[in-house]
Structure 1
Amino acid sequence: MTPARPAPTLSLALVLTVLMTAWWAALGRADLAALRLPEPDDMMRLAQIRDWIDGQAFGDLTQARLGPPGGTAMHWSRLPDLVPALVIRLLSPLMGSARAEIAAVIFWPELLFFFHLLLSGALAKRHGAEGAALPAIALAALAFPAVALFMPGRIDHHGLQLVLVEAMALALLDRRTFLAGAVAGASLLIGVETAPVIVAAMLWLAAMWAGERRPVGGFGLGLVTAAITGLALLRPDVWPADRCDGFTRPLFAAMLIAGAGWLLLAASGKHPQERRWRLGAAAAVAVLAAAALWLVAPACIGHPYSATDPLIARIWPDHAGEYGGLLRQPIGRAVAFLGLPLIALAAAILFVARDRDRRTNWLLLAAMIAVAVATMLVQLRGAWFAAALAAPVLGQWVDRAGRHGLALLTAVWLLSAGLVWQTLGTVLDARPDPAAAGCTSRETLAGLERLDVGTFAAPMELSAYLLGGTGHRSLGGPYHRDVDGNRALAEFFLSTPDEARYQASLWTIDYVALCPTPTGGLPPALLRQGGLAAHLLNGAVPEWLEPVSLIGSDLLVWRVRGIAAPGARP
């Protein structure tokens, strides 16, 4: 017998995963070798994993080196820590902890990238001919900005959430509702970023129940199972009742309420025979669930990050909710993030109108992409889900265009490739990143690591790199739960030099740092005339600050003289 040949989709996904990961790793090999990861959240995740491996309790998500003395209780889940931590623990005895960490930060995004490609191909198959799967996999590998979540070093939780959302959509199309509910619940346990697209999927499922009497009880049971599993295994030690920014009490209640709603709907499924009665039953259950949510978990109705300190919201509007909306972005970035989702949404709507046999399947992807695009107006991260779900839609478009000549096929490929939109956005947006220019370079981190350990008052851009790349503390950071630290950081830079000296003593600040840019990496609101930040950028250094030189770095660093000296931690 000849051995079975692997499926073309599996082979293509594997080849693209290996080749693209190798290419990305080669481009960033110097940063990877120094464990200087692409994004601040990746560095923070690395710091969290290290803390856990070094003995921090599984349920203790406090980042002790962020914020005022005592640290900041993060809203992140341990779930994305599991695989990287396992790789590090297994490989450390064989190659040392540093090399094991490098292997982990390459392997984990690579594994998720492979699943992303496979799921994109599988979703394309559910919507048409077999020939759509291979183009969908290829387009999924080019689907900017979603594909950026799978580059080596991208170990934050967003890549895992993206894969879980794709798995939920596939399970819904396969009518495996329990799996869909469980996967949706798992994504919520990681973070509430997936809530909008999950709501879109639930609205689609309700419509299918009303129109086709499709079973929905499994989805509710899956949600409840995920919530109870999270309570048993993933509940953090700090479990607030006034936030819905992660796996908190309100989110747990919301998941139970949503699950109970689906179970109630399933229990009534045998009785309303006419579609209008089923629609009425679905509407009634939705109203009951919304009322229960309003009474039991009001934090999940409003802003997921709770009320923001007015000073922080004014100075760091993009960091108050962790990401700014589409309207705050330069035109180039808006085009790069929005181009692919809009093309996919238009194609999905066209398929809904013309493909009667698979209209209900197209409705699911169209609804999820539309909601993700709408989410981009508030938070740009919605583009990740929209771009990822665009691949199976546009794979179908490419497959159909191939029957109408090479010119049309080429045009469709170009319009469907996310990296083309990224390139166009780069051309349109010629402005340099104001927080770049070596503020977080590997040379800078190496220089900072050579300093005595202390607390930094530094721009948001630098804070997470301080935690993940050095042993220092950071007073502020782009994390909404660090309310006291971020407010203290703002007041410190806004204060006059004499007032700032008192602030340095109050918050035990050892170092002050600014990026080598015209604004120092700070938002304009902190450059108040007469304030400490303005003085430092103008070269008027107060006598209580001593300049510190870093070899190979242009970062501006000053050590606080005689106050809160390094080592004098409370």
Structure 2
Amino acid sequence: MANAPGAAFGGDFDGKVLDRYWVRLALLAWVLIAGYYLYERWPQMRFLALPDTDDNMRLMQVRGLLNGQGWYDLRQHRMNSPLGFDIHWSRLVDLPIAGLILLLKPFVGTVWAERAACWIAPLLPLSIAILGLGATVRRLVSPVAWPLAIVFLIGCTATMLMFMPERIDHHGWQLAMLSLTVAGLADPKGARGGITVGLASAVSLTIGLEMLPFCAGAGAIIALRWVWDRAEAPRMSAYALTLAGGSTLGFAAFASEANRVLRCDALTPVWLSVMIAAGALLFILARIGPEKRAVRLILAVLAGAAIVVGFALVFPQCLGRPEQVSPELAKNWLNNVREAKPIYQHPLRSAFPIATLPIIGVIGAAVATWRARRTPRMIGWVAVLLFTTFAALMLLWQMRAGPGAQLLAVPGAVALGWIIFPRLLASKIMLVRVVGTVVAFLIVSGLFAGYAIQYLPIDRPSARVNTINKASGNCSANYALRPLDRYPAQTVFTFVDLGPRLITLTHHDAIAGPYHRNGPAILDVQHGFGGTPENFRAIARRHGATLLLVCPNMAESTVYRSRNKGGFYDQLAHNEVPAFLEPLPLPDKSPLRLFRIN
């Protein structure tokens, strides 16, 4: 499997070059890919068009750090006036952004240094993801198969969105750690592989808990390898020590003051205790190492049960949702977050392209495992097959698993392509060589799904949905919000989803953003827009808000209109303006409406 396909894709010299200089060439490919994305997205980038509320809040967090806010103080003082609120993130992802700003500021000034940092920072973890996947396919498929992994990765639309310029939130870094995790699982050198998985998991957990299920799955696979083969003890020992030690260092160096209490939504003492306990138990099991496989299985099961039962007894408050929000907020907001819903609850037009490659990856990993059944690579392929299957099944829980599932599908897809493509290219029939190879590539890479779904008459967005999407984009645009700075800085009562963008682009403060620790303020905004005008005025006064900013047809506005017929916002949408609101002028064609609250 390692030699013949490589010869089909290039000569012996090419194979030696691809093998010997693969890291340099992979990084060169990363530079070219990064350059293309910077060029392709320049029209949007130059306006600081941060695509998500989290990206805006990340920049505000970095600004706070550079303006003298404490390293362990992650309170956002420009939201939820006058108290502010503590966000559950850590400082780890702030470092490259802040470093780039400090590096570039003397040359281009603060404004352009910020923008350039937002362009470059998301592309940095892409290099790690490329190297992680390259190492995996080199170990399991062929030393010269890594270019195909890069090509397939570029086709992972959900994954690549997390590495795009200005996507400065932490998901790209967590995906990079996931690529290192699968590389560690595939590593034939046990101790090195264990260290890789342990450190990658610790870094990911230090950033946030989004990848906790993947980290747990990787740990379970390492334990199963030890159960199957006692010789895997060095891998499990190294993993246990680095997971526990890395998590401890991550907590000490990056956990905010607000994360040093028993919260369930970040690497707090709750999850740090779990990582230390899991690491200690796995290390002890590896050191004991009973000869009989059945005994090792029983011990592994008992260790897992001890962690689960101990967690339930010591931290019962964390058995529910880690966000620990009120039932009202869960019903009105958190339960309706689209990415938190299973894939089968999403329209086929968006679900099919995301799910296709993970399914192909599972098939490819299964085929590769079977073909490697009598070789040393079988154990590595079994680990990748289990991990890829686990990631694909995660889509049945939450759609947000899509980027990780696509990334983990790449090794299996490469293995499948490495079997199919050379046979087609070696055909004596030109039609098979050309058309057959192109069709096979589109299928194995999963790219056919995105193309095919465009021509199927299903789940096409309605005119109403297009209007909402257009309005949502226009409302957060630079040209729409910047004119607000003509008014003195004050607190603005506006939509929850507009809050982070407002405080990023203007000197005004907001009341709420879509963050669960900001829950009471979110409910205040919902109650203000959904209740009576008098109730809105009282809530606004309590928060010191003197301006009201709304955007007709923005997605959030439709919720207030549909859920609260006759409520304050519904009246406002029908031009029933209370006497205490004074309309304020904005530029012509502005999508926003601004009022002074008297």
TM-score with structure 1 setting the length: 0.91
| Cα distance per residue 1:164-223 (max 9 Å; x no partner) | 111122123222212321221111111111111111111211111011110211111101
Q: Report if aligned partners of 1:67, 1:486 keep a CA contact under 8 Å in 2.
A: no
Q: Structure 1 residues 294, 494: closer, same or farther in 2, change over 3 A?
A: same
Alignment of 1:210-289 (within 5 A): 210-213=227-230, 214-215=232-233, 216-239=236-259, 241-269=261-289, 272-289=290-307
Q: Which residue of 1 aligns with 2:220?
A: 203
Q: Structure 1 residues 83, 519: closer, same or farther in 2, change over 3 A?
A: closer
Q: Which residue of 2 aligns with 1:59?
A: 72
Q: Which residue of 2 aligns with 1:139?
A: 152
| Cα distance per residue 1:37-62 (max 9 Å; x no partner) | 12221111111001100010000011
Amino acid at match of 1:351: A
Q: Which residue of 2 aligns with 1:414?
A: 442
1:11 shift after superposition: 5.4
Q: Structure 1 residues 549, 355: closer, same or farther in 2, change over 3 A?
A: farther
Decide which of 534, 537, 540 is 1:504's aligned counterpart: 540
Q: Structure 1 residues 240, 443: closer, same or farther in 2, change over 3 A?
A: same
TM-score with structure 2 setting the length: 0.87
Alignment of 1:145-184 (within 5 A): 145-174=158-187, 175=190, 176=192, 177-184=194-201
CA distance in 2, matches of 1:178, 1:282: 20
Q: Structure 1 residue 380 and structure 2 residue 380: aligned?
A: no
RMSD over aligned CA atoms reads: 2.4
CA distance in 2, matches of 1:522, 1:248: 37
Alignment of 1:13-52 (within 5 A): 13-52=26-65
Q: Which moved more, 1:225-234 or 1:4-13?
A: 4-13
Q: Structure 1 residue 480 and structure 2 residue 523: aligned?
A: no
Q: Structure 1 residues 395, 276: closer, same or farther in 2, change over 3 A?
A: same
- SS of the equivalent of 2:93 reads helix
Q: Report if aligned partners of 1:494, 1:533 keep a CA contact under 8 Å in 2.
A: yes
CA distance in 2, matches of 1:83, 1:429: 40
CA distance in 2, matches of 1:146, 1:52: 29
| Cα distance per residue 1:523-547 (max 9 Å; x no partner) | 2576411101111111212122222
Q: Structure 1 residue 446 and structure 2 residue 482: aligned?
A: yes
- SS of the equivalent of 1:130 reads coil
Q: Report if aligned partners of 1:36, 1:43 keep a CA contact under 8 Å in 2.
A: no
Amino acid at match of 1:326: I
1:419 shift after superposition: 5.1
Q: Report if aligned partners of 1:315, 1:523 keep a CA contact under 8 Å in 2.
A: no
Decide which of 64, 85, 88 is 2:101's aligned counterpart: 88
1:429 shift after superposition: 4.4
Amino acid at match of 2:543: W
Residues matched between the structures, number: 556
Q: Report if aligned partners of 1:109, 1:153 keep a CA contact under 8 Å in 2.
A: yes
Q: Report if aligned partners of 1:254, 1:300 keep a CA contact under 8 Å in 2.
A: no
Q: Structure 1 residues 223, 297: closer, same or farther in 2, change over 3 A?
A: farther
Q: Structure 1 residue 101 and structure 2 residue 114: aligned?
A: yes
- SS of the equivalent of 2:49 reads coil
Q: Structure 1 residue 189 and structure 2 residue 225: aligned?
A: no
- SS of the equivalent of 2:90 reads coil
Amino acid at match of 2:421: G
1:451 shift after superposition: 3.3
Decide which of 129, 137, 146 is 1:116's aligned counterpart: 129
Of Structure 1 and Structure 2, which has the larger fraction of its residues in helix?
2
Q: Which moved more, 1:504-513 or 1:94-103?
A: 504-513
Amino acid at match of 1:514: V
CA distance in 1, matches of 2:596, 2:446: 47
Higher relative contact order (CA 8 A, sep 6+): 1
Q: Which residue of 2 aligns with 1:292?
A: 310
1:453 shift after superposition: 2.1
Q: Report if aligned partners of 1:74, 1:481 keep a CA contact under 8 Å in 2.
A: yes
Q: Which residue of 1 aligns with 2:429?
A: none
Q: Report if aligned partners of 1:244, 1:304 keep a CA contact under 8 Å in 2.
A: yes
